[in-house]
A and B are shown apart, each in its own frame.
Chain A
């Protein structure tokens, strides 16, 4: 790590680097979850999407590099990851809209199913190495290699940053965004407007699953950059909490993701300067942070401001 040469100054630098590199998966899953929840359903199973996305991106990038070259194949992998995430989300959308079926329970089932499927199909891809996604060096003005390293930003992360305001605009200014918000806030009113609740939710959940799958592609093709069964470590699960923290606002999803990416890198950053005690406890930082945020922002008396009205109700 960069921290070794810089001593204590390396700690904040490593946290900045971790924020810029580690927050993209959080960003994609939280944007996906945001879109899903805006339509009034919760998808707790995005962890499965993340893992399936990571696996299929890696597999496709590895298998296709011979035919299309190692510059194009990672992007094919990203597409495959999105499609895999979309497929899982389709199952979730269909099942969670059946009568008497609880969407949270379906989410737990999708975590087990999605991760099981990813581990099953991804077994042959643990050893070989696939081409990585390209990144751009925003720190190349500096002559210090650590700084150059810190400010390397992946193109996929840039794409994610672009999606956040785009999604915000979609909700606020477009006809379809209005449909989504109507379905999520007041299904009866939406029905009276002649909107098909099932179709809107189906499309939102599937698009959300697509985004979460891309988040998985980022994991396996860039950071940490290889496929293994421990690759996601619960990042998909935190999506739900992230969205609550971000008050169902795509722009705030971006800030929340960066906060979580930073929290995640505290442990490794401290380890870089030789502080090993409590390493595992620092690894729990994002979870503790999520829990604290939920404790501070929830209230037994009212629903959280900004929450879609139909969220958490059956149908």
Chain B
């Protein structure tokens, strides 16, 4: 990817998103000013809350973990040309599946095995969920964006139904919840980062694997080819249907794993807290990262920081907690606009090779 030949393209792919992020920050500053807050104070608070100290940086990392995983749910299918936004639903289903396994394996297996089983269950649950979207796309031609969006709402309804009824712990009065997963089986924290749980490692590993899968394997090559031109891929004999199903399953299993991480490391039980919009923010991360899994990992940390600053903005500057969504929306819009800028700037273009006059005439 980083060969000498296309370094200008690489530079373009780095500069434009960064410029877009900066510009959206300026727009957000204008918005804050119009809303009566000092933009520099707001930026200061966001920075403090996100990266200002070691402990706040760890807070950002905690939020980055599910974002890395949910962003892959959009980034992987995007290589096939599919716009999937069912991240939230796959996360919720993964969380439910992990909870069911975590509760049924009580006191029967060592913690590592229970955790592994929970992770597998989460991945399987989320994988099936987005796999359905892929199957509907392939066999019925149902628009994957809309069907995955609808599946989000169905998943949330299912979660509310389960924790309010069949899975409900009777002692959870105000907030219907499932029984708690035993402390022993919960994900611990990373030795050098005393506040960050192992979910971060899951996220990093998933991003790296996804990167290699897409960039370095024949499977990834086939997917990228099919994403480039689906008719040509069909003619070339690529199994487009199988690719669609496999990619959708993998994408969903990443988001499902995020659900498992949230259950096993943060909440300890299934309830409506699971539905914390990580899925929607994950879509944004994938867009900013231009569907590159490694870039998604880095952007996830940045957005984890923005999410972590939500409560501080509310407490210290008396801004509504929706301020963070306004920022996210602005970033999203500007990044989308920046798509139209690729190829427009001369600096990023390869200089035209100087052709001898005779060949230029012949070729012309």
Contacts and interface: CB of A to CB of B under 8 A. Distances in A.
Nearest to A295: B140
B161 A281 contact: yes
Contacts of A102: 83, 336, 339
A116 interface: yes
A112 B328 contact: yes
Contacts of A278: 161, 165
B160 interface: yes
Contact of B287 (A91, A105, A114, A288): A105
Contacts of A288: 154
Given A119-B322, A278-B161, A101 B336 contact: yes
A199 interface: no
B337 A284 contact: no
Contacts of A109: 284, 329, 332-333, 336
B140 A116 contact: no
A277 B162 CA distance: 10
B322 A116 contact: yes
A241 interface: yes
A283 to B, nearest CB: 6
Contacts of A110: 329, 333
B188 interface: no
B20 to A, nearest CB: 12
Interface stretch (B144-152, B192-200, B261-269, B349-357): B144-152
Interface residues of B, number: 47
Contacts of A271: none
Main secondary structure on B side of the interface with A: helix
B164 interface: yes
Interface stretch (A187-195, A206-214, A297-305): A297-305
Given A95-B333, A241-B146, A301 B141 contact: yes
B336 A95 contact: yes
Contacts of B164: 279-280
A163 interface: no
B142 interface: yes
Nearest to A234: B153
B333 A120 contact: no
Contact of A101 (B85, B284, B330, B337): B337
Interface in A286-301: 287-288, 290-291, 294-295, 298-301
B311 interface: no
Max chain B Cβ within 10 angstroms of own Cβ: one of A104, A118, A280, A290: A280
Nearest to A284: B157
B7 interface: no
Contacts of A118: 322
B280 A112 contact: yes
A7 to B, nearest CB: 24
Contacts of B330: 113
Interface in B13-45: 35
A113 B332 CA distance: 8
Contacts of A116: 322-329
Nearest to A241: B146
Nearest to B287: A105
Given A105-B287, A113-B330, A300 B141 contact: yes
A284 B161 CA distance: 10
| Nearest 10 A/B pairs, CB to CB | A113-B329, A116-B325, A119-B322, A284-B157, A300-B141, A109-B332, A280-B160, A280-B161, A98-B340, A116-B326
Interface of B: 35, 83, 85, 136, 138-143, 145-147, 149-151, 153-154, 157-158, 160-161, 164-165, 280, 283-284, 287, 319-330, 332-333, 336-337, 339-340, 342
13 contacts: A101-B340, A102-B83, A104-B83, A108-B283, A109-B329, A113-B333, A119-B321, A120-B325, A123-B320, A238-B150, A281-B161, A294-B140, A295-B136
